[in-house]
Structure 1
């Protein structure tokens, strides 16, 4: 298996960047489109848990938008072959002194679906 093929890293980075724009813009339809809509999809949020694409979509309809001041730090994209990747990032905002951490697992689900988030975890921690 080949790690970090440049063209695959570029594809996943573009998908992640587009997801981040949708997140900051609170574009619910776009955010939902980036997640695999399947029962196996899991999202662990800061104060909530969703199992399955339907639960994730339902939660997004009522969730509070992320702060417009959100800034990413130390984003790492790692690809494994041509169809699997992880994206890890840290984030801050003017809304809290806490440091956010976000990890996503991305999979290419064929030519019609493209790259989708199949698992995600978001958390906040105090910084020393």
Structure 2
């Protein structure tokens, strides 16, 4: 198994960039398309544990659309073979001293790279 094949990394980076754009633009439809459409998909957020794509969709629909912009401070992507990758970022929201962290586990499915598990948390100031 090859770790960090440049072509695979480029694909995962592109999908991550699409996710980031959809997130800060609150494009719920695009966000949904980037997640695995399965009851097994997980998203653990700063204040919620979401199990299944329906719970994730419901959360996104109810979430306020304001204040979503963020600055990515660190970004680390590791690809394992051609079909599995993990992306981790550290981010900061404008006007906040604390840092946030996000992890996305991605798998290449027949219809493209999908988030199968995600985690978001905040560090103290």
- TM-score, normalising length: structure 2: 0.95
Alignment match, 2:51: 51
RMSD between superposed Cα atoms in Å: 1.2
Alignment match, 2:81: 81
- 3-state SS of 2:97 partner: strand
Q: Give the alignment of 1:60-75 within 5 angstroms.
A: 60-65=60-65, 67-75=67-75
- 3-state SS of 1:64 partner: coil
**1:25–1:41 Cα change, 3 Å:** same
How far apart, CA to CA, are the structure 1 residues paired with 2:47 and 2:13? Answer: 27
Deviations 1:79-100 (A, max 9, x none): 0000000000000012422100
Alignment match, 2:120: 122
How far apart, CA to CA, are the structure 2 residues paired with 1:66 and 1:2? Answer: 41
* Runs of 5+ consecutive residues of structure 2 not aligned to the other structure: none
Contact 2:23–2:68, Cα closer than 8 Å, also in 1: no
Alignment match, 1:26: 26
Runs of 4+ more than 2 Å apart: 64-69
How far apart, CA to CA, are the structure 2 residues paired with 1:95 and 1:28? Answer: 25
Contact 2:43–2:118, Cα closer than 8 Å, also in 1: yes
- TM-score, normalising length: structure 1: 0.93
* Runs of 5+ consecutive residues of structure 1 not aligned to the other structure: none
How far apart, CA to CA, are the structure 2 residues paired with 1:59 and 1:33? Answer: 15
